[in-house]
Amino acid sequence: MTASLRVLTLNVLGPANPDWARRRELIAATLRRLDADVVALQEVPVADGTVEELLGPGYAVTPFSRTADDGVGGALATRAPHRVVEEVDGHCTPRTADFPWCATLVVEADTPVGRTLVAHHKPSWQFGYEHEREQQALAAARVLELLADGADHAVVLGDLDATPDAASLQFWRGRRSLDGTSVCYQDAWETLHPADPGVTFDARNPLVRAGEVATAVSRRIDHVLVRAGVHGPTLQVVSCARVLDEPVGGVWASDHFGVMADLALPGHPPGSWAPQPNG
């Protein structure tokens, strides 16, 4: 059986928002059923046991070092023990001061596919802050590139608050450079669903329509990205699906849909030819 890694990102829209008790139960049941190897959660209480309750036993959990005043922030969990490598501060301009937990948490873990860097990236959310998201992406990518030689793979995931055509996502996906730096990460959703917009913040969701950005258009802003070496991504995207993108028993889990991807070692490593039949 080919070794594989299941990763998942979900903005849970924490307890200050409507219907938390029922949403919390649904999120917990879903996360436990999907049993991902790596889980990135946003807008979740990180110091009261909520993350551990949602995930169930068997995870190593590291929260972001900063939270909002109500204790809500981001957390990264892995089935394998992980080592925190760095937390990249996202406060790159004065405008970012009012979002305390914008950051990129980078950990290293020995996963089923090898030594893997995982970056939980949470840039600025404000609509007009693409300049900040560019700078936050650049800072995170530079750290990952410095560390990449010591790992077999690198994966970036999270609520990136940017659509695939945004400058910060173009940078991550190798479509443009920033300040003399270029990287290339494969978009897991785009790989398998190139003609499907795959929105994760959807105006048909009543939690979106009732929320603070009800006038926004539907957008795909939650992402799983796989780092490419010189010959392409080091992991093959086997599957990629939205999570909790429909109501269950009348309950919508969050104003975001999650994204889950199964990543596997390719049949032959990038930079090599597949074995050829004789003759």
pLDDT in tens, 183-221: 999 999 999 999 999 999 999 999 999 999 988 899 999
Specify the pTM: 0.96
CB atoms within 10 A of CB 167: 16
Q: What is the pLDDT of residues 57-68, one digit of tens each?
A: 999 999 999 999
HSE at residue 248, side-chain half, CA atoms within 13 A, is 15
Largest CA distance in the chain: 68
pLDDT band at residue 232 under the 50/70/90 scheme: very high
Residue 40 has pLDDT above 90, yes or no: yes
- What b/e string do you get for 20-43 counting C-beta neighbours within 10 Å, with b at 16 or more? eeebbebbbebbeebebbbbbbbb
Portion of the chain with pLDDT greater than 70, in percent: 99
Q: What is the pLDDT of residues 99-136, one digit of tens each?
A: 999 999 999 999 999 999 999 999 999 999 999 999 99
Residue 279 has pLDDT above 60, yes or no: no
pLDDT at 1 (0 to 100) = 58
Kindly state the DSSP code that residue 162 receives in the 8-state scheme.
Answer: -
What is the average pLDDT across 46-63? 96
**38: nearest Cα among 243, 263, 193:** 263
Kindly state the DSSP code that residue 278 receives in the 8-state scheme.
Answer: P
Residue 161 contacts residue 124 (beta carbons within 8 Å): yes
Structural domains of the chain in order of their starting residue, each with its CATH number: 4-264 (3.60.10.10)
Residue found by looking up tokens 């990236």 in the block: 121
Six-digit token pair at 6? 């299941």
pLDDT at 270 (0 to 100) = 87
Portion of the chain with pLDDT greater than 90, in percent: 91
pLDDT at 123 (0 to 100) = 98
- Higher-confidence residue: 106 or 229? 106
- Taking the C-alpha atoms of residue 79 and residue 140, their distance in angstroms, rounded to an integer, is 23
pLDDT at 267 (0 to 100) = 86
Q: What is the pLDDT of residues 266-275, one digit of tens each?
A: 988 888 888 8
Q: What is the pLDDT of residues 245-271, one digit of tens each?
A: 999 999 999 999 999 999 999 988 888
* Average predicted confidence (pLDDT) for the chain: 96
**73: nearest Cα among 163, 161, 159:** 159
Using a 10 angstrom Cβ sphere, with 0-12 exposed, 13-18 middle and 19 or more buried, the burial of residue 128 is exposed
Residue 3 has pLDDT above 90, yes or no: no
Six-digit token pair at 187? 């978009």
